Amino acid sequence: MSSILKTINLGNYFRLVNELLPGVMALSARDVNGQFFHDNDSSKSSNLESVYATVIEDVQSSEQEVFHQILSDGDLLYIVQLKDLHGSLVGRLIVLLNSLDISGDASSLQSVESSLLTIAELAQHEIELNTELNMMSEELTERYEELNLVYDYDPSKALGNGGEASLEYLVKSCTNFLNVAMSALILPDQNIAIYDYAKVGERVDPSIIIPSLNDEIYNWLQDKQQTIVINGFGEKIREECCDSLPYKLVAAPVFSGDNHVIGALVILKQQKEIDFTNSDKNLLDVMSKKVSNIVIECFDQLTGLNNAGSLQTKLDIAVQQSQLKGLSHALVYIDIDKLQVINDMSGRQAGDELIRHVSGIIRHLVRNRDSVARLASDKFVVLLEDCPLRIAVDLAQKIRAEIKAREFQWDLKSYDISVSIGIAPISPKTESASAALSAVEGARDAAKERGRNQLKVFEQDDVDLLLRHDEMRWVSRIQGALREDRFVIYAQLIKPFQKEEPYPHYEILLRMRDEVGKIVQPNDFLPAAEHYSLMPDIDRWVIENTIDMLAENPSHVSINLSGQSLCNEGFLEFVVAQLQRGVVHPGQVSFEVTETATIANLNEAKLLISAIKTLGSTFSLDDFGTGLSSFSYLKNMDVDYLKIDGSFVREIISDAVSEVMVKAIHEVGKAIGLKTIAEFVENDVIKDKLVSMGIDYGQGYGLGKPEPLTDILKRDF
């Protein structure tokens, strides 16, 4: 109550009392908790509290708005009740008047009382106004917190364990921001039930809520497909869906991607708390849509299991835990053997039901803490955290036996179902999540090759199997990246050393975005692309997209060509067509081929160089100095630049042989009219040495790191 009295400016009312009433000797206000607020320094003020104490009982028993009493020395004591907008007492105004200044007739006393009542009424209006303003401020604060919940909710803060952690974070956010007793989320298809309680206040009873949430509210939402708000008892909607639940609640349906209700998001309060509003309903609708987005992003729509992206996140964490803490995990890869047969014989709907049938068996047999994901149409992976390999093998045997024992029936037909299973450990020696997946996929492939319904455990000696499978997996990922346009063009500055040039020169580099958006370095995917002859397709993509990005931009770029592209049928015609499109001037584009690739495809290289230079483009010989006959054939190659191999450049300060090699390459190039580019310029010491030797250009982290070409073009042009 003290805080309410403090919301008004008592000084104004004290001054008003002094102006309206003669003979004011002492003046103060007292709140209901006993605190005094004094305004003058009269000798009477010091004993005002003791005087007040002698009359307080009479004041409390009196129903008068203004209480007055004549004291023993003849002075007049007036006490005025100060109330809030609800009529509740918040304090008292105490006035001591000198009787010599006031005549004792009834008219004078009535005038004093009337003035004090007016002052009390003014104070009450100010209290009401301030209280209303405070309520508005609190409501705005609440709405602001709700907006924070909607706009600042960031599931990526909790993605450490995939979709489940994101949903837990969302439910906790509902509890914290909306100031409710409990928030709950159920997703039966995902086997998820999350409950969060407020840290303070009276808790709701979970033994009442959980059965009602699963059996009544969820069923009602599935039928009506709309958010409900329930406050008081006797409401028709409470009788329809949850008559036994003694709480106020808002329940919002969670929809799947195909607009079916797959869950419920609910917030609850005690019955004695303030009602939920339409704002609460709208807010929970927004949050339920966020739940839907997480489900769509992290879970498989057909089975409700984790999807590939969610598994990848969990697998990354598991590998890190194993490396840092020495924990042992295991992966089980399960592949349905006859799905395509059933699809062909009974249709896709039967195949989908078989997938759900198998996923249900797997989920029933694994532990609650294990993660089950569907990777593709007939492929599942189980991540067994903190699980020895022998336990994983036992579980895989149970899954295989259970699936084999339970016939699958569709349209009055019965089918014998089997699965091929691979198992691989995750140990402190496991290099990465991709390595773990490669191992377990390789084991699965070996199980299939044994004749179906088999189980294979990956062993560290299976190196050839692992390498073969890893490259095969990269082939599929590279082809997917080409189809889905997931390659990213990077560029690194080639800096002139001897004189400035009007436009910058960059080498074009390549990165790939994987299925979950992470950048993959070229060392991870290019070896497989080269091994399985995918480089011409990649080179075509790089050339076409780089030229498109350079439209109306004066930069000069160097594009790498693989040895496979040099002799690929139709590749030369493709390059010529791209340069003749008119998007860029051919002189802006230079092409690079490594020395070893050129030697291996010498005739094709000469033909391509000639055709390209006829159009006005230039040519660089990359990694020069590593070939077996570098100088002997160089004079017959019509190139413009020599890129000195970085293995020599990085040692130029500490190794005399490297210094001599760099000098020799530069001198030979200069003698036949070529410009030289030094790679791996990592610091200023190397750069200064190269400049003093007359090298024309430098490239390396000491001059500029690779960046996305889009960022460079936005920043520099």
Return the DSSP state at 588.
Answer: G
- Asked if residues 425 and 459 have their Cβ atoms less than 8 Å apart, the reply is no
pTM of the predicted model as reported, rounded to 2 decimal places: 0.47
- Residue 282 amino acid letter: N
* Angstrom distance (rounded) from CA 314 to CA 319: 9
- What's the Cα-to-Cα distance from 210 to each of 207, 216, 275, 714, rounded to whole Å? 6, 10, 22, 54
> pLDDT at residue 460 above 70?
no
The predicted model gives 238-263 an average pLDDT of 87
- Asked if residues 32 and 56 have their Cβ atoms less than 8 Å apart, the reply is no
Beta-carbon contacts of 336 under 8 Å, excluding residues fewer than 6 positions away, are 354, 355, 358, 378, 379, 417, 419
The C-alpha angle 280, 283, 289, rounded to 5 degrees, equals 140
Return the DSSP state at 392.
Answer: H
Q: What is the pLDDT of residue 142?
A: 57
> pLDDT at residue 701 above 90?
yes
Q: How confident is the model at residue 119 (pLDDT cuts 50, 70, 90)?
A: confident
Residue 310 within any structural domain of the chain: no
Q: Choose among 677, 645, 679: nearest CA to 661.
A: 645
Which residue has better confidence, 147 or 329?
329
Q: Where are the alpha helices (DSSP H) in 484-580?
A: 522-531, 535-549, 563-566, 571-579
| Domain containing residue 431 | 326-461
Which residue has better confidence, 605 or 41?
605
Residue 511 pairs in a beta bridge with: 488
* Angstrom distance (rounded) from CA 435 to CA 40: 83
Q: Choose among 538, 536, 532, 530: nearest CA to 566.
A: 536
* Angstrom distance (rounded) from CA 168 to CA 171: 5
What are 360-409's pLDDT values in tens digits? Answer: 999 999 988 899 999 888 999 999 999 999 999 999 999 999 999 998 98
Q: What is the pLDDT of residue 423?
A: 95
* Angstrom distance (rounded) from CA 349 to CA 55: 88
Residues 656, 619 within the same domain: yes
Q: Which residue in the block uniquely carries the two structure tokens 């073009």?
A: 713
Q: List the CATH number of the domain containing 67.
A: 3.30.450.40
Instruction: List b or e across 368-396, with b for residues whose CB sees 16 or more CB atoms inside 10 angstroms.
Output: eebbbbbbeebbbbbbbbbbebeebbebb
Which helix (DSSP H) or strand (DSSP E) does residue 45 occupy?
A: none
- Gap between the terminal Cα atoms of the chain: 65
Q: How many domains does the chain have?
A: 4
Residues 587, 495 within the same domain: yes
Residue 636 within any structural domain of the chain: yes
Residues 457, 491 within the same domain: no
Which residue has better confidence, 103 or 415?
415
- Asked if residues 424 and 330 have their Cβ atoms less than 8 Å apart, the reply is yes
- Residue 498 amino acid letter: Q
The predicted model gives 269-294 an average pLDDT of 87
> pLDDT at residue 625 above 80?
no
Residues in the chain: 717
Which of 220-234, 369-383, 594-608 is predicted least confidently? 594-608
* Angstrom distance (rounded) from CA 309 to CA 296: 11
Helical packing angle, 106-152 and 278-298, nearest 10°: 10
Phi–psi pair at 510, nearest 5 degrees = -130, 140
Residue 586 within any structural domain of the chain: yes
Return the DSSP state at 451.
Answer: T
* Angstrom distance (rounded) from CA 248 to CA 228: 11
Number of C-beta neighbours around residue 612 at 10 A: 22
* Angstrom distance (rounded) from CA 549 to CA 710: 8
> pLDDT at residue 600 above 80?
no
Residues 222, 118 within the same domain: no
> What is the β-pairing status of strands 589-594 and 618-624?
parallel
Q: What is the pLDDT of residue 257?
A: 79
Side-chain half-sphere CA neighbours of 683 within 13 A = 5
Phi–psi pair at 272, nearest 5 degrees = -80, -10
Listing from the earlier edge strand, what are the strands of the sheet with 248-255?
192-197, 182-187, 261-269, 248-255, 228-230
Percent of the chain exceeding pLDDT 90 equals: 36
* Angstrom distance (rounded) from CA 500 to CA 162: 51
Q: How confident is the model at residue 515 (pLDDT cuts 50, 70, 90)?
A: confident
One-letter-per-residue 3-state SS of 61-126: HCCCCEEEEECCCCCEEEEEEEECCCCCEEEEEEEEECHHHCCCCHHHHHHHHHHHHHHHHHHHHH
Residues 24, 104 within the same domain: yes
Q: Which residue in the block uniquely carries the two structure tokens 């921001």?
A: 177
Residues 559, 645 within the same domain: yes
Q: What is the pLDDT of residue 2?
A: 47
* Angstrom distance (rounded) from CA 298 to CA 164: 9
Q: For the chain, state the CA radius of gyration.
A: 41
Residue 126 within any structural domain of the chain: yes
**DSSP annotation string for 201-250:** SPPP-HHHHHHHIIIIIHHHHHHH-S-EEE-STT-HHHHHH-TT--SEEE
Instruction: List b or e across 132-169, with b for residues whose CB sees 16 or more CB atoms inside 10 angstroms.
Output: eeeeeeeeeebeeebeebeeebebeebbebbbbbbbbb
Residue 193 pairs in a beta bridge with: 186
Q: What is the pLDDT of residue 159?
A: 44
Q: What is the pLDDT of residue 319?
A: 92
> What is the β-pairing status of strands 89-97 and 24-31?
antiparallel
Q: How confident is the model at residue 448 (pLDDT cuts 50, 70, 90)?
A: confident
> pLDDT at residue 147 above 70?
no
* Angstrom distance (rounded) from CA 489 to CA 555: 15
Residues 179, 262 within the same domain: yes
Q: What is the pLDDT of residue 657?
A: 87
* Angstrom distance (rounded) from CA 297 to CA 169: 16
Residue 407 within any structural domain of the chain: yes
Residues 685, 548 within the same domain: yes
Which residue has better confidence, 600 or 554?
554
Residue at which a domain ends, from 298, 315, 343: 298
The C-alpha angle 550, 555, 560, rounded to 5 degrees, equals 75
What are 3-43's pLDDT values in tens digits? Answer: 567 777 778 888 888 888 888 888 888 887 777 766 565 66
Residue 230 pairs in a beta bridge with: 249
Residues 633/637/641/645 CA torsion (nearest 10 deg) = -30
Residue at which a domain ends, from 411, 432, 461: 461
Residue 171 within any structural domain of the chain: yes
Q: What is the pLDDT of residue 140?
A: 53
- Asked if residues 29 and 9 have their Cβ atoms less than 8 Å apart, the reply is no
Structure tokens at 49: 């509290």
DSSP three-state, residue 550:
coil
Residues 435, 497 within the same domain: no
Compute the mean pLDDT over every residue in the chain, rounded to the nearest whole number: 85
* Angstrom distance (rounded) from CA 361 to CA 342: 18
Residue 144 within any structural domain of the chain: no
* Angstrom distance (rounded) from CA 633 to CA 599: 9
Residue 637 within any structural domain of the chain: yes
The predicted model gives 306-332 an average pLDDT of 90
> pLDDT at residue 717 above 70?
no
* Angstrom distance (rounded) from CA 234 to CA 472: 65
- Asked if residues 328 and 317 have their Cβ atoms less than 8 Å apart, the reply is no
> pLDDT at residue 149 above 80?
no
- Asked if residues 659 and 622 have their Cβ atoms less than 8 Å apart, the reply is no
Residues 172, 82 within the same domain: no
The predicted model gives 448-454 an average pLDDT of 83
Q: What is the pLDDT of residue 225?
A: 92
Q: List the CATH number of the domain containing 384.
A: 3.30.70.270
> pLDDT at residue 171 above 80?
yes
Residues 277, 360 within the same domain: no
DSSP three-state, residue 385:
coil
Q: List the CATH number of the domain containing 640.
A: 3.20.20.450
Which of 253-262, 531-540, 575-584, 630-639 is predicted least confidently? 630-639
Side-chain half-sphere CA neighbours of 140 within 13 A = 6
Q: What is the pLDDT of residue 158?
A: 42
* Angstrom distance (rounded) from CA 435 to CA 312: 12
Q: What is the pLDDT of residue 695?
A: 96
Residues 454, 520 within the same domain: no
> pLDDT at residue 157 above 50?
no
> pLDDT at residue 628 above 50?
no
